[in-house]
Structure 1
């Protein structure tokens, strides 16, 4: 028998069962603790013999009870140990069960047609598993990182598919930046020679650019948000001309200074897309700071403060095919007519309370190549149906989709009149578009 302070380790379920059987046997042997005296209805008085009671020696009974108490205490200690071992054994069995299920799943999968798919097809399936986000977060529970944890064959295919690793959202990590840099390098190296799309939630000048340094010739898309110091922006923009393959730039969270604009103006002619829609609104003066950039652009997202500034932007961007504009117009203006031959997609979100402020803009504008036009307004006042009809008739465009979102509504009569102008037109009235999210 083990002592009360001993630690018993049972190596198997049979050892635990044996120990429980011993404890149960001890308990059954000591089930009756009654004596002739204990069945009496009164406490013995002092006249009873001090040494003997009905042939039994009290000292012997006490000694026997002490022995029984020691045995029960030992069994309780043993039972506590057994219960702990039962809990450990339960955990081990559950773990073994899970491993057996995983093994069964793996070997069942070997006979599945999925394992016989060519690597090229499996790579295409992995692409369909990627989140729809433009820049991928390196989370372990979503693709592509998740795909590397399923099994060895899947990991080999995922790691060997460079196009899965071309997009990355770099998060601020504080003191763990060095560890994070090693992880980000591992991610980006898997992209091999493919063009890269990178986003930085918070730019911290030299640290982030040290991460970019090995990949500067392959960065085609860069999105940057700076929360506090404009100086960080200027450090970043000073380095932008060193990105010879840059095609798309997204800037958020800070105002644009002349010095920053000068850096943007030195961007390569390969850049065709600029998104500054989350920066303060542009007027004609601020637009002029980027004169060397606009001529190359085909896609622009921007905030505009005045109707004449929007028309000025269109004059600066002769190759523009897609424009998303956040407007904050507070008065209608009479503007010089302007025809832009290349605009195919125009999305306008009106952030002012009066949608009538857009009237002057659309009275002046003609877009003969327009295919998609979307208008979002947060107020309840109605858009001028006649102004839009005149704009479509003047443009003589083959418009495919006319979208009213936000709180704008269209009557059936108005819908019919739009379609009468352009028979193939699809008129859509719905919630806020993803262009303005």
Structure 2
């Protein structure tokens, strides 16, 4: 393009007196006409170049699409001679199980197995969709705003379980509309974890008609002030129950524990918060088959405890919330645990560790203790006594 300077290019219009400049109107109009012609020519070139660029973009997209098709064809035909392609469905299903996240409950996210496995190829999708055991664990978020759409998605997941036992976790509020989702699968639920929002109004039918339920975890974070509400609900649990975790619920006393007495007899694992030491011993009496107990004892008073022998408990974890009165000595004096293998006790650091009482418990029980974990002021000499008393004890940890 030619130089665009003119005899008038140096004029400073705001600072120049028009009368002092010889303006030739015809000459300036010719310059403007010439510039318009130049502008039209440049715009034409730009338009032509944009057309070429659009053509290149289209060609590029077509080539990329062709590349993807070629790669897909190569992958497919390589798969035909791959040993993985010839794997029996049963083996491929087992491999898929090892792809699942190592969580108790699975998220229905599209970028995680098992959903991810359905997006690889047609064969993998058919195998994944036809393997019921891949779809037996699920987290259901009951707080989903678009519940109707979410219910369809969760329902399709659960339908793939085809009668297998289910492990389900529910986040958020539980109501009748959520119960409708479970109704077709009510006989399959063997493990259930449920957490309530604050100030939740617990439905009466919550734990009814769960004939296959073996494990129940009830999470806290809700406004329940009376443990008897859950006592009534838990009393409806089936005899198939083996594990109960109500650790985050309000503390239970003897009356609460007795109110759902039928559920205790078959339990082998319990996590719970209770009020008094006599309630702790009462719990052990109610659970003759108990093998593992985790208990937070909110002691309100000292008591004279009747001796108790529990023949089956193997793992005992006691948390003492009170730091005013030392209450572990009374418990250790009352208990005889001939099958105990793991003992863990935690109390306030200012409370003196009941060494003599624990030594008497171990000597009286003659248990095959393997692990002793405690918090408190325990000397090396006292730890050595425990090891000398119980030959099977190979782990003593002071926290």
TM-score bin (small chain): 0.7 to 0.9
Q: What per-residue deviation string (whole Å, max 9, x for no partner) do you get for residues 184-220 of structure 1?
A: 1111111112111222222432112111111122222
Q: How far apart are 1:322 and its partner, in Å? A: 1.5
Structure 1 CA distance, aligned partners of 2:119 and 2:85?
16
The equivalent of 2:126 in structure 1 is: 156
Structure 1 counterpart of 2:248, from 257, 261, 278: 278
Structure 2 counterpart of 1:396, from 344, 366, 375: 366
Query: In the superposition, relative to structure 1, how do residues 161 and 89 fare at CA in structure 2: closer, same or farther (>3 Å)?
Result: same
Q: How far apart are 1:311 and its partner, in Å? A: 0.5
What SS does the aligned partner of 1:232 have? coil
Query: In the superposition, relative to structure 1, how do residues 129 and 351 fare at CA in structure 2: closer, same or farther (>3 Å)?
Result: farther
Q: What per-residue deviation string (whole Å, max 9, x for no partner) do you get for residues 340-399 of structure 1?
A: 011112122333346932221112111101122223446465533333222222111111
Matches within 5 A, 1:341-356: 341-353=311-323, 356=326
The equivalent of 1:245 in structure 2 is: 212
Stretches of structure 2 lacking an aligned partner (at least 5 in a row): 13-19
Q: How far apart are 1:101 and its partner, in Å? A: 5.9
Contact kept? 2:316, 2:342, Cα under 8 Å: yes
**Is 1:324 aligned to 2:294, yes or no?**
yes
Structure 2 counterpart of 1:261, from 222, 228, 231: 231
Contact kept? 1:234, 1:260, Cα under 8 Å: no
The equivalent of 2:40 in structure 1 is: 70
The equivalent of 1:417 in structure 2 is: 385
The alignment's TM-score, normalised by the length of structure 1, stands at 0.76
Contact kept? 1:334, 1:360, Cα under 8 Å: yes
Say which is worse superposed, 304-313 or 80-89, in terms of deviation. Answer: 80-89
Structure 2 CA distance, aligned partners of 1:310 and 1:296?
17
The equivalent of 2:3 in structure 1 is: 33
Structure 2 CA distance, aligned partners of 1:263 and 1:165?
28
Matches within 5 A, 1:113-262: 113-229=83-199, 231-237=201-207, 240=208, 242-253=209-220, 254-256=224-226, 258=228, 260-262=230-232
What SS does the aligned partner of 1:222 have? strand
Stretches of structure 1 lacking an aligned partner (at least 5 in a row): 1-30, 52-56, 432-437
Q: What per-residue deviation string (whole Å, max 9, x for no partner) do you get for residues 91-122 of structure 1?
A: 77777767766665665565554444333233
Contact kept? 2:363, 2:389, Cα under 8 Å: yes
Structure 2 CA distance, aligned partners of 1:380 and 1:79?
84
The alignment's TM-score, normalised by the length of structure 2, stands at 0.82
Contact kept? 2:227, 2:252, Cα under 8 Å: no
Q: How far apart are 1:33 and its partner, in Å? A: 2.8
Contact kept? 2:143, 2:171, Cα under 8 Å: no
Q: What per-residue deviation string (whole Å, max 9, x for no partner) do you get for residues 34-54 of structure 1?
A: 68x769999998599x87xxx
The equivalent of 1:334 in structure 2 is: 304
Say which is worse superposed, 338-347 or 116-125, in terms of deviation. Answer: 116-125
What SS does the aligned partner of 1:287 have? helix
How many residues are paired up? 389
Query: In the superposition, relative to structure 1, how do residues 111 and 353 fare at CA in structure 2: closer, same or farther (>3 Å)?
Result: farther
What SS does the aligned partner of 1:271 have? coil
What SS does the aligned partner of 1:269 have? coil
Contact kept? 2:137, 2:167, Cα under 8 Å: yes
